[in-house]
Structure 1
Amino acid sequence: MLSSQGGIGTSLTLGLAAKSADYAARVDRASRDALKNLVALAIDEGCRFIVLAGDIFDGDLRNFETGLFFIDQMRRLEEAGVQVFLILGNHDAENRFAPKLSMSANVHVFESKHAHAISMEELRVTVHGRSFPQRDVTDNIARDYPTAVAGHFNIGVLHTALQGSESYHAPYAPCTIEELANFGYDYWALGHVHARAVLNTNPYIVYPGNLQGRSSRETGPKGATIVTVNDGQVIQMEHRDLDVVRWVTLVVDVAGIRTRTGLLDCIRMAIEGACAEADDRALAVRLRLIGETTQHHLLLIDPQSLRDDVAALFATLPSDIWLEKLVVATATPLQPDSLDPTVSGRLAAEIGALDTDEALNELVEARVAEIRAKMPAGAHAAAFFETLRSEAPARARALALSLIDDTEAGDAAR
């Protein structure tokens, strides 16, 4: 048996499409390639059937070619004698063409009016499931699933925000681990949560995750769970990576680094490690720099220059890497206990004290209010003003400190 969550649509954040239309299209293709990988794995491993726990298509997707692509992949499985058991999740339920697709005979789509069971007598396996009738299903539909079939290996397929996952996912079809564990089934294949998780082992209750990460929130390996059953018992369960593009968040500590070259060397080491862990897949990287460094104020003053340097670094590496976002969260090194008695030392100390200077904060708020008043009515600029409010003091301090450094460097040269 092969268990996974689908996801061949284009559920990309608008931010990704705006930052890089080319890479957005690349991730779109990656979702389809990951499904191809799933089909190839099922055929190569001799799987008797596949379980898909929903969210195959995005609710706002209007590209009928995606549906035709899915049908074609299902026919490949039919030719190999692989059955497919599929429920529709919240995204599928609001998609206009998903219910109209004419699937091959090997695809069994569970109806949405009530949960029901489909048995494979030759395997002594029964699969229980129910599709979402609409996007917002807030009732506990698990309680109405059929009773386990005696003498069969019983599988429940459910699209749910299981208790504990509600904070990050819409609370659809809520239920508890204890409720599912006491149902009498041998295996639960869950959808809706895109992160892989084994929640219980007796019986197995598993979120296999989705096939391909599609935003910076979906980091790490993605794929499917392959389950081997013998005499009604799970004897092996293994995750297989099927993703084509991998999303990675890298936190690089640059504490003590005094030069731009040294900083880029640290980043290089981190990204080379990430490439090795991803088996040289294409990477979409969110890079976060931390630590106390004398480079801090230079990084804040000219973040675009740093981004350009990092992009150039990535271009020298053999792997396909895209810098999705660069976050500078470094800090200025702590000053020694004894105050630098020079003019520049005293001035730097005064600038550092601006962190808690209420007058500066009030000045920033006043300037923000002036700018806001000049914005056209209806402009959506909340994020802009929040960024301006939070970054203006830091950038002012960084600029002042850089002027001190430039002055000291000039004095030393003379």
Structure 2
Amino acid sequence: MVFKFLHAADLHLDSPLLGLAAKSADYAARVDRASRDAFEKLIGLAIDERCAFVVLAGDIFDGDLRNFETGLFFMSQMRRLEAAGIRAFLLFGNHDAENRFASKLKLASNVHVFSSKRAETIAIDELRVSVHGRSFPQRDVTDNIARDYPAAVSGHFNIGVLHTACQGSESYHAPYAPCTVEQLANHGYDYWALGHVHARAVLSTNPHIVYPGNLQGRSVRETGPKGATLVTVTDGGVADLTHHDLDVIRWALSTVDATALQTHADLLARIRETIYEACSGAGDRGLAIRLQLTGETQLHHRLMIDPQSLRDDVAALLATLSHDIWLEKLVVATAPPKRQEALDPTVSGRLASEIIRLSPEEVGAIIEVKLAEVRAKMPAGARAQEFLDGFRDDIPDRARALALALVGDAEDGHASH
């Protein structure tokens, strides 16, 4: 007997894509629809592949629904599966558990939502399959609930659906429903359909223990392809495991090495190359990119003094591309070239050395004195303090960069005479 099923998790329907939605009204609507569009592609894939059923391993929704239309949309997609004769098995994860609408949805007859009271088993006798699962009763599930999953059904292909931070895979995710790979492997199931961790991972192949990752990346922490896992079962065993990319907007974190670059034009050319490479990896999807500039470069001081000019130039560059791409953030993490003091006995060279010798604490102390003077002349109120606080992290580096740039300009001017 041969059949297929689709394993997905962490849909987070209508979750905002952090760092994008507020950038431009022109594409805000598209960004808002990203999770829905990815889910529609998932349902289309299940229908096209003639899957016997779909497994959704939690976090269907993103916390409290912003409006009930999210639930109506999900219900409509479940009806698409019903019309195609495809069943759906889902459980509620930590985000769903805090959702006030999730448990009230009137889902089609082809959908089974696992109980939050205890783990249960649903058998599909014609396929000789048993699906086991349990929904979260509340957001913070800290017990190892997998221990209480039912024993495997003899003669069936057993699937465990579990929303969990499996040990070693937690990353930045909360440690909910903790368990270990060894524990799951010894439970007797043939396939563990996991959710909660947003990075795709195959933790074991005997038996298969799989995180499909989330369906649509939501921030620059979730870069690269996102989608679902298509599983083919032949004669009671996993014959094939294929990941399908279903995201409609992809995130990229790209490093631009500015080492030894001499001019602003050189830097823009290097940035252009980096962006082209990222676009080629995204295919026809929209691309949200964060660029991080690194390396030792003569351009460092100017970049620190006026980073906005480079941002404007990069934005202008993106506007010339045919690809749908947005700059999520530009991070300047360059450094000045190391100076050889013994080889630079000039006045400007000695001045630059003294500036470099100033520790961040010394510069910060000087800045604090000046900020106190400014604060005394400003009107009372939290806004004034908030305004000044915003300068503290940025000013020391920019002040140092400005001083070094002025020394460099003075040296250049003297040389020209």
TM range (shorter): over 0.9
* Equivalent residue, structure 2, for 1:389: 392
Question: How far apart in 2 are the matches of 1:384 and 1:158?
Answer: 48
Query: Contact 1:3/1:226 (CA < 8 Å) preserved in 2?
Result: yes
> Residue by residue, what CA displacement relative to the aligned partner does 1:153-186 show, whole Å, maximum 9, x if unpaired?
0000001111224451112111111111100000
Distance verdict in 2 for CA 1:135–1:253, change over 3 Å: same
The structural deviation recorded for 1:336 is 3.1
| TM-score, normalised relative to structure 1 | 0.93
2:407 to 404, 408, 411: 404
| Partner amino acid, structure 1, of 2:86 | V
1:24 shift after superposition: 5.0
| Structure 1 residue 368 displacement after superposition | 5.2
Shift of 1:366: 4.0
- Assess if the C-alpha contact under 8 Å between 1:247 and 1:284 holds in 2: yes
Distance 1:29 1:92 in 2: 19
Tell me the distance in 1 between the aligned counterparts of 2:241 and 2:375: 57
Q: CA deviation at 1:343?
A: 2.2
Out of 103, 111, 119, the residue aligned to residue 99 of structure 1 is: 103
Find the aligned partners of 1:182 and 1:359 in 2 and give their Cα distance: 59
In the alignment, is the contact (CA less than 8 A) between 1:198 and 1:205 conserved in 2?
A: yes
d(CA) in 2 for partners of 1:183, 1:384: 58
Superposed counterparts of 1:12-411, under 5 Å? 12=16, 16-20=20-24, 23=27, 25-166=29-170, 168-336=172-340, 338-354=342-358, 356=359, 358-367=361-370, 385=389, 388-411=391-414
- CA–CA separation in structure 2 for the residues paired with 1:379 and 1:133: 42
Query: Is the Cα–Cα contact under 8 Å of residues 298 and 398 in structure 1 kept in the other structure?
Result: yes
Distance 1:225 1:380 in 2: 52
Deviates more, 1:156-165 or 1:370-379: 370-379
Gaps of 5+ in 1: none
How far residue 372 of structure 1 moved from its aligned partner, in angstroms, is 7.4
Return closer, same or farther for 1:372/1:288 CA change in 2, 3 Å cut-off: farther
SS of 1:299 mapped into structure 2: helix
1:391 CA drift (Å): 2.4
Q: Within 1, Cα distance between the matches of 2:39 and 2:31?
A: 13
Matching residue's letter, 2:51: C
Give distance in 2, aligned partners of 1:375 and 1:80. Answer: 67
Displacement, 1:262?
0.6
- In the alignment, is the contact (CA less than 8 A) between 1:6 and 1:35 conserved in 2? no
Once the two structures are overlaid, the 10-residue window that deviates more, 333-342 or 228-237, is: 333-342
Q: Secondary structure at the match of 2:393?
A: helix
CA separation in 2, counterparts of 1:317 and 1:309?
Answer: 13
Instruction: State the alpha-carbon separation in 1 of the partners of residues 188 and 292 from structure 2.
Output: 46
Unaligned runs of 5+ in 2: none
Residue by residue over 1:260-289, the C-alpha shift from the partner in whole angstroms, topping out at 9 and shown as x without a partner, is 111011111111111111113111111100
CA–CA distance in structure 2, aligned partners of residues 391 and 381 of structure 1? 16
Partners of 1:15 and 1:322 lie apart in 2 by: 10
Shift of 1:57: 0.7
Change (3 A) 1:337 1:77: same
The 3-state SS of whatever aligns with 1:205 is strand
Change (3 A) 1:23 1:378: farther
Q: Comparing 156-165 with 124-133, which one deviates more in the overlay?
A: 156-165
- Counterpart-to-counterpart distance in 2, 1:377 and 1:139: 47
**Would you say the 8 A contact 2:119–2:134 is kept in 1?**
yes
In structure 1, C-alpha distance between the alignment counterparts of 2:125 and 2:312, rounded to whole Å? 61
Q: What CA distance in whole angstroms lies between the structure 2 residues aligned with 1:182 and 1:369? A: 64
Q: Partners of 1:270 and 1:38 in 2: how far apart?
A: 31
* 1:298-323: CA deviation from partner (whole Å, max 9, x where unpaired): 11111111111111111111111111
Letter in 2 for 1:194: H
- How many residue pairs match? The answer is 412
Q: For the Cα contact (< 8 Å) 2:94–2:139, is it kept in 1?
A: yes
Q: CA contact under 8 A between 1:213 and 1:219: conserved in structure 2? A: yes
Aligned to 1:330, what secondary structure does the other structure show? coil
- What CA deviation, in whole Å up to 9, does each residue of 1:31-59 have, x standing for no partner? 11101111111111111111100111111
The two structures, once aligned, show a CA RMSD in angstroms of: 2.3
Task: Tell me the distance in 1 between the aligned counterparts of 2:384 and 2:185.
Answer: 47
What's the CA shift for 1:405?
A: 3.1
Q: Which residue identity lines up with residue 392 of structure 1 in the other structure?
A: I
CA–CA distance in structure 2, aligned partners of residues 371 and 5 of structure 1? 52
- CA shift in 2, pair 1:380/1:52, >3 Å: farther
- 1:321-357 Cα deviation digits (max 9, x unpaired): 1111111000001113633222222222222222x26
- TM-score, with structure 2 as normaliser: 0.92
Q: Deviations over 1:68-95 (max 9, x none)?
A: 1111111111111111111111111111
